[in-house]
Amino acid sequence: MDWSGGYVSDINYISGFYREIAPGYLSFVARLRGEPAPDPARPFRYAELGCGQGLGTNLLAAANPHAEFVGIDFLPGQIANARDQAAAAGLGNVTFHEASFAEAADWPAAALEPFDYITLHGIYAWVSPANRQAIVRFIERWLKPGGLVYVSYNAMPGWAGVLPFQRLLREHAARHPGRSDEQVQSGLAFLQRLREAGLAYFDRHPAAPAKLDGLGDIAREATYLAHEYLNSAAQPLYFTDVVADLAPAKLDYVGSADLVENYDVLSLPEAARAALEEVADPHYRELLRDYAVNRVFRRDIFIKGSRRGTTAQQDAALLETSLAPLLTRSEMTPVFHTNLGELTGQARIYEPLMDRLARGTTTLGALREATGIELAALIQACTVLVATGQAHPAQPVADAGPARRLAKLLAARILDDEPHGHLPAPAIGSGVAASDTEIVALSALLDGVPPRARRLAEAVWARFRPVGRRMLRDGEVLESERENLRELQQRAGAILRERLPVWQGLGLLDAGDDRRSG
Ligand X SMILES: C[S@@+](CC[C@H](N)C(=O)[O-])C[C@H]1O[C@@H](n2cnc3c(N)ncnc32)[C@H](O)[C@@H]1O
Q: Which residues bind ligand X (CB under 6 A)?
A: 5, 7, 13, 16, 50-52, 73-75, 78, 100-101, 121-123, 126-127, 131, 227
Q: How far is the CB of 227 from ligand X (least distance, A)?
A: 4
Q: How many residues does the chain have?
A: 518
Q: Compare residues 51 and 423 and give the one whose CB is closer to ligand X.
A: 51
Q: Compare residues 76 and 401 and give the one whose CB is closer to ligand X.
A: 76
Q: Compare residues 101 and 461 and give the one whose CB is closer to ligand X.
A: 101
Contact present, 25 and 63 (Cβ < 8 Å): no
Q: Compare residues 88 and 99 and give the one whose CB is closer to ligand X.
A: 99
Q: How far is the CB of 221 from ligand X (least distance, A)?
A: 13
How many other C-beta atoms lie within 10 A of the C-beta of residue 252? 15
Contact present, 58 and 87 (Cβ < 8 Å): no
Q: Compare residues 135 and 495 and give the one whose CB is closer to ligand X.
A: 135
Q: How far is the CB of 254 from ligand X (least distance, A)?
A: 20
* CA 417 and chain centroid, separation: 20
DSSP 237: B
Q: How far is the CB of 58 from ligand X (least distance, A)?
A: 12
Q: Compare residues 17 and 464 and give the one whose CB is closer to ligand X.
A: 17
87-105: b (≥16 Cβ within 10 Å) or e? eebebebbbbbbbbbbebb
Nearest to 227 by CA among 416, 21, 50, 17: 50
Instruction: Please enumerate in sequence order all residues whose Cβ is within 8 A of that of 66, keeping only pairs 6 or more positions apart, or say none.
Output: 42, 43, 398, 399
Q: Compare residues 13 and 302 and give the one whose CB is closer to ligand X.
A: 13
Q: How far is the CB of 78 from ligand X (least distance, A)?
A: 6
Q: How far is the CB of 123 from ligand X (least distance, A)?
A: 5
Task: Supply the DSSP string of 259-311, one letter for each residue.
Answer: GGGG-HHHHS-HHHHHHHTT---HHHHHHHHHHHHT--EEEEEEEES-----H
Contact present, 276 and 268 (Cβ < 8 Å): yes
How far, in Å, CA of 210 to CA of 291, rounded? 19
How far, in Å, CA of 116 to CA of 139, rounded? 11
For residue 117, report the phi and psi dihedrals to the nearest 5 degrees.
-135, 135
Q: Compare residues 131 and 338 and give the one whose CB is closer to ligand X.
A: 131
Q: Compare residues 121 and 299 and give the one whose CB is closer to ligand X.
A: 121
Contact present, 189 and 176 (Cβ < 8 Å): no
Q: Where are the beta strands (DSSP E) in 112-208?
A: 115-120, 143-154
Q: How far is the CB of 509 from ligand X (least distance, A)?
A: 28
Q: How far is the CB of 493 from ligand X (least distance, A)?
A: 33
Nearest to 428 by CA among 489, 361, 495: 361
* Peptide bond between residue 466 and the one before it cis (omega within 30 degrees of 0): no
How far, in Å, CA of 121 to CA of 102, rounded? 17
Q: Compare residues 123 and 222 and give the one whose CB is closer to ligand X.
A: 123
Q: How far is the CB of 469 from ligand X (least distance, A)?
A: 24
Q: How far is the CB of 232 from ligand X (least distance, A)?
A: 11
Q: Compare residues 119 and 361 and give the one whose CB is closer to ligand X.
A: 119
Q: How far is the CB of 290 from ligand X (least distance, A)?
A: 21
Cα dihedral 136→139→145→147 (10° resolution): -110
How far, in Å, CA of 163 to CA of 170, rounded? 11
